[in-house]
Amino acid sequence: MFRPIIKIVFLASAAFEVAREKIEDALDTFTSRADEYKSSGSDRLHQTRDRLKQAVSDATQTIWQRSDVLEGQVREKIRRQVADFSLGALGDSTEINELRAEIATLRAEIAELKQKTPV
């Protein structure tokens, strides 16, 4: 149930990063090639449309890849935190068992002392 929602979050995050990078690249390219566009209007339109299709395809592919990378990073972080928590709980459980054993030993010693001393 949460996996699709989480995937959407990762896709949105990756889309934002990729869009920002693509816009920066496009602005850099546009400013550096502003004087190079001297072809006719229809040729320019076809070229622009083809470039736009290619850019959308590249951006979509990059977004999916980035989303998978982000998801993998978060999964690994969660796995590490769960492992740390499990190891901590295991340590606590070991200490509790040692304390229980010590309490049992003390109770046995108290019972033995009660048997030795007359009431």
Report the number of distinct structural domains present in the chain: 1
Examine residue 13 and state whether it is found in any structural domain, yes or no: yes
- And the tokens for 20? 């920002």
Q: CB–CB of 17/70 below 8 Å?
A: no
Using the Cα atoms of residue 60, residue 64, residue 66 and residue 67 in order, give the sign of their dihedral: positive
Distance CA 7, CA 52 (A): 26
* Residue 74 lies inside a defined structural domain of this protein: yes
pLDDT in tens, 27-81: 878 777 765 665 555 667 777 788 888 988 888 898 889 888 888 898 898 888 8
Task: Determine, yes or no, domain membership for 103.
Answer: yes
pLDDT of residue 47: 79
Query: Residue 19: which domain range?
Result: 2-30+40-116
Residue 16 lies in a domain: yes
| CA nearest to 67, candidates 13, 1, 5 | 13
- The mean per-residue pLDDT over the stretch 1-29 comes to 83
Q: Is residue 99 part of a domain?
A: yes
CA-to-CA distance for 84 and 56, rounded, in angstroms? 42
The answer to the question of residue 104 being in a domain is yes
Q: What is the pLDDT of residue 23?
A: 87
Determine the pLDDT at residue 103: 92
The reported pTM is 0.47
Residue 11 inside a domain? The answer is yes
